[in-house]
Chain A
Amino acid sequence: MRIAIPLQEEPAATAKVPKIVKKAHVAGQTSWIVTQTEEMGADRYQELLHSLYDGVLITKASGQIVDVNARAIRQLQYDQNELSRLNVLDIIVGANDQLLKNICKNIETNRFTLIDAYCIRKDKTTFPAEIATNRLVLTKEGHLCFFLRDVTRRKKAEEELIQTVSRLKELDNAKSRLVANVSHELRTPLTIINSFVSLVHDGIAGAISDQQKECLATVLRNCDRLANLIDDVLDLGRIESGREEFKRRRLCLPDLLRQCHHDFLPKFLLKHQQLNLEINEEAFPDALGDPDKIAQVLTNLMGNANKFTPDGGEITVSLGREGENARIDVVDNGPGIATDDQSRLFEAFTQIDRPEGGSGSKGTGLGLTISKQIVEAHEGALKVESQTGKGSCFFFTLPLYVEQKAFEAFVNDRLRFMQARNRKPMMVVVRCELAGCAGKDAATDGPPLMSQFRTAVAAALGCVELQTFLYESGNLIVALTDRSDLNRETIVSRLQAEIKSRLHAGNFSVSFACFQPDQAGSPGEYLARAMAMLESLPISRETERVKRVLVIDDDAPVLKMMTELLAKVDEKLDVRSTTSGYDACIHFGDWRPDLVVLDLHLPDIDGKKVFQSMSKGDPARRMKFLAVSGYPDEIREIMTMGCDACLAKPFDFKQFVDKVRSLLA
């Protein structure tokens, strides 16, 4: 006889319907209690049955109970005869034939089934139970065997634990909210104090003596310190509660380090310190991180090095690799940190006693705590190595950029951010299949069409944060939005409208999916779900798109004349006009006219600026510009800047019409 019980996982369901929580392979080819009646006598069978800790029900394949043990009788409070008239389905809440079918299906594939359910006693009361089932070969027809374990006590303990945890979480949230609110409220009066003290300090509110000025300078310094402390407390609170928004993306670390080095150099020079930057690889691979947050960590570490290293010291910032991660070290030759202090270093409000003559203003004691939290939110680690008298090395790791990881980070960051704010996220996946670029990465070597898609999707959903990546045959744009005014219908119509208005004719097909991700899934599951839901988004494509012309001229009669002339060129033209260059940039950049007729002499902005600003938003150069001016110099200048055509004022109708025709052709 072989007994194998590979079931150790705790089922976690509390639902009042039977739920299959596990299917596990049975060791060997036959059932886990191989009972051949010929081999085992009836006595021994009874002995075994009644010695089991679990309640046992042996049934026919139909579920009809044929035998039970004493334990089962006690659990269910029926007597043996009553039980043998029942079907096993009668004693499980919500059970039906499907359950038996599933069990049999598992048995055929040599698995047994673990069910989390409520069982019904004779008096109709119920108790939570864990039921393991398997085949039992007693006779030729075969039987099913149900092992019932009453888990009332465990369930109760579990529920208490869940309640306690949620109460603690609530308390912790309340604490965080209180801290955040109080800190926020402190900020306004502090700003007012700061403003007025500086007015007096700067002599604006009347002359003051040098001594008074010095006193006020002290006040101002401490105002700054208090403001920094409040900012740090707010920062930490946001990170801890998940309300801080992380925007992890492809990040070029060498650039970031060079920037920090450049920004910090003056501070180090002030203390006659040497600041070295070492980047070991010429083409260091991109990492995955939020540039602002990582810069914050670097600023903190470099700031500390600057502050705690004596004048004339040397600090080296270096970038290298550690396995799959990038590693950044900030090494100084300052006083070092005693081993005992190192462990306390990352706790909030810790400030290690600095040696005599330590310079610089006192910090808030939160810098390293915040940095550590930031790095950990990036799935990296921040650590210190130091010895008293021998300097310190603070270093942190950051995962390198991998597309899939970037996608997961994007989804996780966005979901956490929205959930922390109790907003309902909606996931929208748009797949764009562009003719002629299957298998190309849209983010790097895709055509400009792809970036227009991005803009269209962003505008339709009103969100800036999108993730674009290549997936199977198409490019996917994934967005997570929390706008409550969007539902499936509005998303469809807005996507259609935006894509139609922004994308010039092209060979593309669009499909999309949107749903509300539940809390339990992983980014990969969401993606799979979206891919299964994808449906095509019909974009009606006119054979010929109505051409758009924007006329910018501050002279109303001229504007009117040009508008009328344009109608003569083609009455189907969609003509809009404005007298302001500013208006053109702000309101018509997105409208994507085919032709812009631009008077260079505008009251508000220089026509050249309008040209630059509008053509910047159109890298593919689909917009044509016709510059109009009375000044030959201006015309020459704008033509050298890449304007498509020009007309010198005054011009006759025919010239204008011809130019427009050729530009629109």
Chain B
Amino acid sequence: MDLVKALQMRLADWKYETIVAIDAYEGTKLAMDQKPDLVILDLMLPAGGGISTLRNIRNSSRVRFIPVIILTGMKDEAVKRQVIELGVSVYMEKPYKDEDLKSAIDKCLQNPAAPSQ
């Protein structure tokens, strides 16, 4: 939670508008309703885990092309593989550097649908 607040302040400083969901269900719902330009997603989330949010996004006709940045402390190769198969733009592990996140965001917003493999 604290980290989300910090991230939100940081993103605001970079002049992005952010909306925040704190569990996987809410995340899916917000992504569908608000159709953001970018989703930053942790995998360790209550109510289904971030992977369910990602799966819902990728299976929806409405928002399937939204670039997704995974930002997580989870270090499980199998999960990582699964996530990349579903299609994410950038996979970042915590702890991350602010400048790396910035360049990842820039990359995604320039070239929205380029899947990273």
Chain A residues in the interface with B (C-beta under 8 A)? 187-188, 190-192, 194-196, 198-199, 202, 204-205, 227, 245, 462, 464, 580-583, 585-586, 604-605, 609, 613
Contacts and interface: CB of A to CB of B under 8 A. Distances in A.
Contacts of A605: 113-114
A204 B10 contact: yes
B90 to A, nearest CB: 15
Given A187-B73, A187-B95, A586 B114 contact: no
Contacts of A613: 115
A586 B115 contact: yes
Interface string B1-16: 0110011011011000
Given A187-B73, A191-B94, A199 B115 contact: no
Contacts of B94: 187, 191
A587 to B, nearest CB: 9
Contacts of A462: 81
Given A198-B98, A204-B10, A581 B113 contact: yes
A580 B94 CA distance: 32
A5 B44 CA distance: 65
Contact of A204 (B9, B58, B73, B112): B9
B3 A191 contact: yes
A580 B95 contact: no
B65 A604 contact: yes
Contacts of A188: 73
A586 B68 CA distance: 14
Nearest to B98: A198
B112 A604 contact: yes
Contacts of B77: 245
21 contacts: A187-B73, A191-B3, A191-B95, A192-B2, A195-B2, A195-B6, A196-B6, A199-B9, A204-B9, A204-B13, A245-B77, A462-B81, A581-B113, A582-B65, A582-B87, A585-B115, A586-B58, A586-B115, A604-B113, A605-B113, A609-B114
Contacts of B9: 199, 204-205
Given A195-B7, A199-B10, A583 B64 contact: yes
Q: Which of B9, B64, B87, B95 has the most CB of A within 10 A?
A: B95
Contacts, number: 53
Interface of B: 2-3, 6-7, 9-10, 12-13, 58, 64-65, 73, 77, 81, 87, 94-95, 98, 112-115
Contacts of B13: 202, 204
- Secondary structure call for the A interface: helix
A252 B79 CA distance: 30
Contacts of A609: 114
Contact of B6 (A199, A245, A586): A199
A183 to B, nearest CB: 13
A358 to B, nearest CB: 27
A589 to B, nearest CB: 9
Given A187-B94, A204-B13, 14 more contacts: A187-B73, A188-B73, A190-B95, A191-B95, A195-B3, A195-B7, A196-B2, A196-B6, A198-B98, A199-B9, A464-B81, A581-B113, A586-B58, A604-B113
Contacts of A191: 3, 94-95
A190 B94 CA distance: 11
Contacts of A580: 64-65
Nearest to B12: A204
B94 to A, nearest CB: 6
A605 B89 CA distance: 14
A188 to B, nearest CB: 7
A628 B50 CA distance: 38
B81 A582 contact: no
Contacts of A204: 9-10, 12-13
Contacts of A245: 77
B7 A582 contact: no
Nearest to A198: B98
A196 B9 CA distance: 9
A-B residue pairs, 6 tightest by C-beta: A195-B6, A582-B113, A604-B113, A204-B13, A605-B113, A586-B87
A506 B2 CA distance: 58
Contacts of B114: 605, 609
Contact of A227 (B12, B65, B81, B95): B95
A586 B94 CA distance: 26
Nearest to A465: B77
A604 B9 CA distance: 30
